[in-house]
Amino acid sequence: MQGTVDGFSYGMVTPVTAYVMACLGAALGLRCITRSLRNEQSWKPGWLALGATSIGCGIWTMHFIAMIGFQVEESRLRYDVGLTILSLGVAILVVGLGVFAVGHYGASTTALLIAGTFTGLGVAVMHYVGMAAIRVNGSLRYDAVTVGLSVAIAIVAATAALWAAVTIRGFMASLGASLVMGIAVTGMHYTGMAAVSVHLHSKGGSWAGGSAYSLLLPMLIGPVIFLVLAGVVVMFDPLLVLGDGDWSGSAARRRPAGAPYGGPSRTPVGAPPRAPAGWSGQPGSFSETPADAGRRAQNRGSSPPRRR
């Protein structure tokens, strides 16, 4: 007997909440990837690991928030605890392969294709491992074409999000990339759910596992807390907040004409001002006005030189 599947039993509450969580995880993860690529002094493995975990937690949280709204009218749903936890680990691991690929090999076409493929596959594998955790009085079956479409959506959109994160500078670019990544995750999820059909058993049975409320809601607390803490780390890192503000290797290209490298904020308090470009320290080595000479002498604690 065919079961009646309802993926929106709470209306748009679960889809919208799931999308927001996917965007949050993607935003944090993509900013961490950007941080590792554009600052040579950053601890690359740490930022990439934080990015992969943020994206993985965002994907996992999105999936199971959306699954709270999934029901089969003729049967109760239970979830296997082991497979539910495994799906989180798979999401972080597979997404991590993609994140570390783009983190170590940069924004080349080959690296982005590899990273996007792994990241998209991480989204898909997490989804279907999470679906395997469902215990229902029947069997789940999938339409192969729709499943393939869901995987393709995840790979293409994840590749586009990574490309935007590593090639377009600025906070707004990363924000836009996270919205694309959120679309990838939620679009893949609901496309995959459209492939599901439930064939019920003729007789009722008993099966182990926790319900959506007793299992999923408590398990969501941990990843959500992690995303909040990761958000705090990002908020207190000025390079991540400002986006294109002061990345190493690009400050020289952005400083105003004639300004010393790094801007006035780089000069320690109490230190003498830096010499203007082209001055060797000898009289006559460059042309300066009396006012400039007076200010330079005053900063050094001496009297202005006499004009000859």
Centroid of chain to Cα 256: 32
d(C-alpha 133, C-alpha 51), whole Å: 26
Q: Is the pLDDT of residue 61 over 50?
A: yes
For position 235, what pLDDT does the model report?
A: 76
For position 211, what pLDDT does the model report?
A: 57
Model pLDDT for residues 9-43, shown as the tens digit of each residue: 888 999 999 999 999 998 888 888 877 777 666 67
Model pLDDT for residues 138-189, shown as the tens digit of each residue: 889 999 999 999 999 989 888 887 787 777 666 777 788 888 888 888 988 9
Average pLDDT, the chain: 76
Model pLDDT for residues 219-263, shown as the tens digit of each residue: 788 888 888 888 888 777 755 554 444 344 433 333 444 444 344
By CB neighbour count within 10 A (0-12 exposed, 13-18 middle, 19+ buried), where does 254 fall?
A: exposed
**Residue written as token pair 């230190």:** 271
Q: Is the pLDDT of residue 304 over 70?
A: no
Both structure tokens of 87? 């799906």
